[in-house]
Amino acid sequence: MTTLYGISNCDTVRKARKWMEAEAINFVFHDFRKQGLSAEQVERWCAALGLDKVLNKRGTTWRQLPDDIKASTDEAALKALLVEQPTLIKRPVLELADGRVEVGFKAEQYAALFAR
């Protein structure tokens, strides 16, 4: 099953959901602000994409963190922070049924992923 992870009030997540619904793609939406995330999920995404691609350093949540946390290079601590504060994750995260993981949304990117 394909799962789209994000938060329901994020514009990019809404665009992705709307695109997938318009294309009649069967998926489950997981709001990680409401439903949370496991350390295993974050670890899997970081293994597939790299921590730098998963961690959103442009968002408000990141900017509000203390400077010592932002300066940290401790990957384990940063991954734990992603579980604790999932709004630090770039959105949306798409887990495809075949195990592939993608982050972000562009219609042409999704069209290529779901080419039939």
Count of all residues that appear for the chain in the document: 116
| 46 has catalytic annotation | no
* String of DSSP letters for 32-101: TTTS---HHHHHHHHHHH-HHHHB-SSSHHHHTS-HHHHT---HHHHHHHHHH-GGGB-S-EEE-TTS-E
Q: What are phi and psi of 23, to 5 degrees?
A: -90, 5
The DSSP H or E segment spanning 11 is helix 11-22
For β-strands 2-6 and 101-103, DSSP reports them as unpaired
Residue tagged active-site, from 4, 10, 83, 93: 10
Residues noted as catalytic: 10
